[in-house]
Amino acid sequence: MWKKRFLLSALAGLAMGTANAAPAIIGTSFAMPADIAAVKISQQLTARHFKVVDNLNVLPRIHKGNPQLAARIPPDIQAERLLVVCQSSSIVGYLRTDPAATSLCPITLSLVQINGKTTAYYLQRSALLTDNAAARAVGQKADESVLDALHAAQKQ
């Protein structure tokens, strides 16, 4: 259990970024429910050669599996969806530059709905790849594709 907590805290520390760097976690707002945003985002990601591996509706699973835990969810959270996607070109790029970076695949976007509006959260890959410029370039290309898809989905 301590290993899991350590890894989560280490990832959280990395995600915070530095004062001079862009934030590692990007939030993109949608004036629509999470299920509709998920469809629009999935369409845009697919157009950019991502494969949607899973689209999980998380809250019903928590409510069904652990009602005591579900009672701790803030009441204004109406939905939480996880979009899990992968892009073959990113995996190949990481294999060529830094095989350990394949641990950044697949990409998970977290969609949180509050008061009928959704925010899609994305952890930028390039922010985590600080030691290898070639792998960071692969991550930057993936980041640009995901962020472009999110912005295009906003306009739909």
Q: Which of 107, 88, 103 is nearest to 150 (CA)?
A: 107
The CATH number of whichever domain residue 9 belongs to comes to 3.30.310.70
Amino acid in position 112: V
Provide the domain count of the chain: 1
The domain in which residue 120 lies consists of 2-155
Return the pLDDT at 152: 98
Question: Which two structure tokens, joined as six digits, stand for 155?
Answer: 């306009």
Quote the CA–CA distance of 60 and 114 in Å, as a whole number.
16
List, edge to edge, every strand of the sheet that includes 77-86: 25-30, 117-123, 107-114, 77-86, 51-57
Question: Which two structure tokens, joined as six digits, stand for 13?
Answer: 């520390």
Return the pLDDT at 64: 95
pLDDT tens digits along 133-146: 999 999 999 999 99
Is the pLDDT reported for residue 62 higher than 50? Answer: yes
Q: Are 118 and 112 in contact (CB under 8 A)?
A: yes
Instruction: Say how many C-beta atoms besides its own lie within 10 A of residue 143's C-beta.
Output: 21
Amino acid in position 94: Y
Return the pLDDT at 129: 85
Quote the CA–CA distance of 43 and 33 in Å, as a whole number.
16
Average pLDDT over the chain reads: 88
Q: How distant, in Å, are the alpha carbons of 60, 70, 90, 102 from that of 75?
A: 14, 10, 38, 37
Q: Is 0.85 topped by the overall pTM?
A: no
Is the pLDDT reported for residue 115 higher than 90? Answer: yes
Q: Are 41 and 154 in contact (CB under 8 A)?
A: no
Amino acid in position 11: L
Residue with the two structure tokens 């306009």: 155
Task: Over range 74-99, report the average pLDDT.
Answer: 96
